Amino acid sequence: MRFLVLVFITSVISISAKVPPAQPNFVLIMADNLGYGDIGPFGSKLHRTPNLDRMAREGRRLTSFYSASGVCTPSRAALMTGCYPRRVGLDWTPEDGHVLRPVSPNGLNPNETTIAEILNKAGYATACIGKWHLGDQPAFLPTRQGFDYFLGLPYSDDMTRATGQRIGERLRGNQWPWLPWMENEKVIEAPADRNQMTQRETTAALKFIAANKSRPFFLYLPHNMPGSSREPFSSRQFRGKSRNGAWGDVVEELDWAAGQILAALKKHKIDERTLVIWTSDNGAPRRNPPQGSNAPLGGWGYTTAEGGMRVPAIVRWKGFIPAGSTSDELTTLMDILPTFAKLAGISLSDVPRDGRNIWPVLSPRSAKSPHKHFFYYHTRYLEAVRDSRWKLYFPKKHPKIPKKSEKYALFDLKKDVSESKNMAWRYPEIVKRLSAAAVWARKELGDGDQKGTRIRELGWQPQPVPQKK
């Protein structure tokens, strides 16, 4: 036992002494609507995820990693800009609601500086392969937001005029184009073959890695699956093979895709200069019957419950992140931009951003979170706030409490991630302290009709046109 402890300490010291290479590669893989408990490293016994299991053994699990929203568009806006969605105007729009729709005049403002633009200007090759969902008009597409190459969908896979899709049924889907599969700014297939999306995305990602193995690159691989359709889509290779129906088939195909990426990095001998992050854009949504799992967290995607915004995350960088380690420090999707910039040696402008450099958290230093608080917004409304331990829902905001309730709900996230034991009555001083912390968010970012003092405009494209082949 003493020998094993000595070996572990020696290995950590060895890793700590290594200096990360200048301009490392970055690979960010993100599933769509995949839950916290859907993969093996986060407790799933239902889905086979050997590649993600191995990635966790070779890297670090982040068990308190958050998206900045429980839904797609705001979450992705936060990732691209390092800001709360409310700050960049993509928390909610009158025309679209909580996520952008096809043929929308809205999108990520081209004046925003994205993570791709920051890296591209520093000499990085950049690619977005998969789901974009930050505007389908030309000015908003990935190729106008810092990416050299784009292949995939401009929005969610259920946003199509195809019959049987729940979004289309509710929101005049017959006026939308057939689901457009795009390369750069051109539709190359409509309707897109959803069964082959994960395969196509993976093939394109492997080609991008091979083509850029000798230069720094940023590969953003936001898979379209599990997606938002009633039943997710997988290729024939995986269809019907899991123990959890179509949802399980998709999860296991995504695991295969991750394995292909890791194998390619090893094949090209660049895995020691490539930081890989695997995560999800938000929690699994409620379905009947249930498919995705957010266990042991409480609640579902599209909400501010832990199950809606706390997502699985694994980080791997051979030789620089301790293997088989776990961090429960508060970290977020917004932190990726400043972290990548720091590692790439890039100085950021003083434009207000909410993300922080979390490399000290990921590295062998295992530092504390740079965040004192995290704010949970649902569309335009601030519903909750947390610190390193406690989460406070404001009156009428908790999903499990009747809307007419005037009570606060306080949960100890170190002991109660299911959010089942309201402790507000017992700790009024914590309720008061967290309520005071929310004053900053309401002033800076706003809340409901209260406009924040430091928010920016979303992008606007008059007379939008559909993406058609």
3-state secondary structure of 181: strand
Q: What is the largest CA-CA distance in the chain?
A: 70
Domain regions of the chain by residue span: 2-362, 374-459
Tens-digit pLDDT string for the chain (469 aa): 554 445 445 455 556 668 899 999 999 999 999 999 999 999 999 999 999 999 999 999 999 999 999 999 999 999 999 999 999 999 999 999 999 999 999 999 999 999 999 999 999 999 999 999 999 999 999 999 999 999 999 999 999 875 444 554 555 556 789 999 999 999 999 999 999 999 999 999 999 999 999 999 999 999 999 999 989 999 999 999 999 999 999 999 999 999 999 999 999 999 999 999 999 999 999 877 778 999 999 999 999 999 999 999 999 999 999 999 999 999 999 999 999 999 999 999 999 999 999 999 999 999 999 999 999 999 999 999 999 999 999 987 666 566 656 689 999 999 999 999 999 999 999 999 999 999 999 999 999 999 999 999 999 999 999 999 9
Q: Are 297 and 418 in contact (CB under 8 A)?
A: yes
User: 64-84 burial string, b = 16+ CB within 10 Å, else e?
Assistant: bbbbbbbbbbbbbbbbbbbbb
H or E segment to which residue 13 belongs: helix 2-17
Query: What pLDDT score does 52 carry?
Result: 99
Query: What pLDDT score does 287 carry?
Result: 79
Query: What pLDDT score does 168 carry?
Result: 47
- Assigned architecture for domain 374-459: 2-Layer Sandwich (3.30)
Q: Are 306 and 70 in contact (CB under 8 A)?
A: no
Active site residues: 72, 133
* Structure confidence by residue, pLDDT tens digits, 340-387: 999 999 999 999 999 999 999 999 999 999 999 999 999 999 999 999
How far is the CA of 5 from the CAs of 12, 60, 366, 409, in angstroms?
A: 11, 18, 18, 42
Q: What are the percentages of helix, strand and coil residues in the chain, rounded to 5?
A: 30, 20, 50
Please tell me what DSSP assigns to residue 283.
Answer: P
- Residue 214 and residue 201: Cα distance in Å, rounded? 21
Q: Judge if 2-362 and 374-459 fold alike in CATH terms.
A: no
Query: What pLDDT score does 171 carry?
Result: 54
Query: What pLDDT score does 199 carry?
Result: 99
Q: Are 153 and 224 in contact (CB under 8 A)?
A: yes
* Structure confidence by residue, pLDDT tens digits, 76-119: 999 999 999 999 999 999 999 999 999 999 999 999 999 999 99
Query: What pLDDT score does 401 carry?
Result: 60
Kindly tell me the sign of the dihedral angle through the C-alpha atoms of 144, 149, 153, 155. negative
Quote the strand ranges of 172-299, DSSP E.
Answer: 181-183, 186-189, 217-226, 274-280
Alpha helices in 191-242 (DSSP H): 197-211
- CATH class, 2-362 region: alpha beta
- Residue 39 and residue 305: Cα distance in Å, rounded? 19
Please tell me what DSSP assigns to residue 408.
Answer: -
Residue whose structure tokens are 């908003």 = 140
Query: What pLDDT score does 290 carry?
Result: 76
Quote the strand ranges of 91-249, DSSP E.
Answer: 106-107, 125-131, 149-153, 181-183, 186-189, 217-226
